[in-house]
Amino acid sequence: MIDTRLAPYGALVLRLSLSFFFFAHLYRKFAFIGFDNWWSGLSKQAYPDWTLAYTLGAEFAGAVLLLLGIYTRYVSLLTLPVLIAVTYHWATRKGFWFGDGGAEFPLAWTFMLIAQALLGDGAYALRVPTLPWERGAQRATA
């Protein structure tokens, strides 16, 4: 049974948690590692520049847009490939357990993004224009 009174607040807590994780990773990337060190380090490991740009763009979108509740479902889906790749990366190198540097936390983060995509914006999300492909669905249900 879904508590329709509290479900929007559950989605809000999840959305803010995800935003915090993205902000934390951006902060680490710029304040501790250094952006140039991060980019050049992954480039030396043969990651293509478009992958790094996608990762950075997805992290910024996840941090800012999830915080504000703007197009939450689509931002969650946009960031999902990054987290799937990170989960795979750590699972193959370190195994599952987070204590060993493994994939446990990225996998939980991945499932949180899937749950957010299913739940939607939640409470206190900014109202933004409906996307063109959603307009037809709204007319059909009205």
Between 79 and 100, the higher pLDDT residue: 79
The reported pLDDT for the residue numbered 55 is 96
Q: What are the tens digits of pLDDT across the range 80-104?
A: 999 999 999 989 989 898 778 889 9
pLDDT at 9 over 70: yes
The reported pLDDT for the residue numbered 134 is 85
Q: Give the whole-angstrom CA distance, residue 66 versus residue 60.
A: 10
Q: Which residue type is seen at 71? A: Y
Model pTM? 0.90
54-87 as b/e: b if 16+ CB within 10 A: bbbebbebbbebbbbbbbbeebbebbbebbebbb
Between 37 and 139, the higher pLDDT residue: 37
The reported pLDDT for the residue numbered 142 is 59
Confidence tier at 24 by pLDDT (50, 70, 90): very high
Q: Please name the residue ranges forming H helices in the chain.
A: 7-27, 35-44, 49-68, 72-94, 104-119, 132-141
The reported pLDDT for the residue numbered 138 is 64
Residue at token pair 């540097």: 101
The reported pLDDT for the residue numbered 133 is 85
Q: What's the average model confidence in pLDDT over 16-44?
A: 96
Q: What are the tens digits of pLDDT across the range 33-76?
A: 999 999 999 999 999 999 999 999 999 999 999 999 999 999 99
Residue 53, number of CB atoms within 10 A of its CB: 11
